[in-house]
Amino acid sequence: MSLYGLMAVFADPEALVEAARGMRERGYRRMDAFSPFPMKELDEILEIPPTRLPWAVLAGGIAGAALVYTLIWYSVEIDYPINVGGRPLHSWPPFVVIAFEAGILGAALAGFLGMLAANGLPRYYHPVFNAESFTYARGGRFYLLVEADDPKYRKGVTRGQLTRLGAELVEEVEA
């Protein structure tokens, strides 16, 4: 089997942040971190781009509202016009309520699909689960993965650097 990378285990979040910063300063770019809770410091160190999900949710909401409003307008104004009580055919106040609800539905669907796309799901397997130390049963651990396809990656050198940066355990991850 081929090697996917090296997984380093750290006892506390500060050690993980310092190790990630140290590896970044040494020129490593293909890294990922795993933590039981979100850590904003790692976003900058690992150069994780900001999410575009809010824009997808906004677009889904606008598209859902516009689509339903257009559908209502078409059905009342063109397809089957019936004058009820002398009101105009295009009486927008009742149309806005249904369009608003459809906008919420469109935003929710866009958010769900956008989240799946942003996370690369459905992904049924990831090589990181081959690491014996990476398990929820051992909870409360912090992990730094240095991928083998990083240009600076050298198995022995990278392992030594991770150990010097405070890793409790460094293990190979098979692809």
Q: Omega before 13 cis (within 30°)?
A: no
Q: What is the pLDDT of residues 16-25, one digit of tens each?
A: 999 999 999 9
Q: What is the pLDDT of residues 105-137, one digit of tens each?
A: 999 999 999 999 998 888 888 888 888 888 765
Same-domain status, 58 and 111 = yes
Look at residue 114 in the predicted model and tell me its pLDDT: 96
Amino acid at 148: A
Question: Residue 47 corresponds to which tokens in the numbers above?
Answer: 């150069």
Residue 36 DSSP label? S
Q: What is the pLDDT of residues 47-81, one digit of tens each?
A: 988 899 999 999 999 999 999 999 999 999 999 98
Same-domain status, 132 and 165 = yes
Same-domain status, 90 and 131 = no
Same-domain status, 60 and 46 = no
Same-domain status, 104 and 132 = no
The parent domain of residue 104 ranges over 53-118
Same-domain status, 105 and 140 = no
Same-domain status, 65 and 112 = yes
Same-domain status, 45 and 65 = no
Rounded mean pLDDT of 22-37?
93
Contacts by 121-126 with C-beta closer than 8 Å and gap 24+? none
132: three-class secondary structure by DSSP? coil
Same-domain status, 77 and 26 = no
Nearest-angstrom CA–CA distance, 130 and 6: 11
Total domains present in the chain: 2
Same-domain status, 46 and 90 = no
Same-domain status, 45 and 86 = no
- Burial of residue 58 (CB within 10 Å: 0-12, 13-18, 19+) is middle
What are the respective helix, strand and coil percentages of the chain, to the nearest 5? 50, 15, 35
Same-domain status, 113 and 132 = no
Look at residue 120 in the predicted model and tell me its pLDDT: 87
Q: Angle, to 10 degrees, between the axis of helix 155-164 and the axis of helix 13-25? A: 140
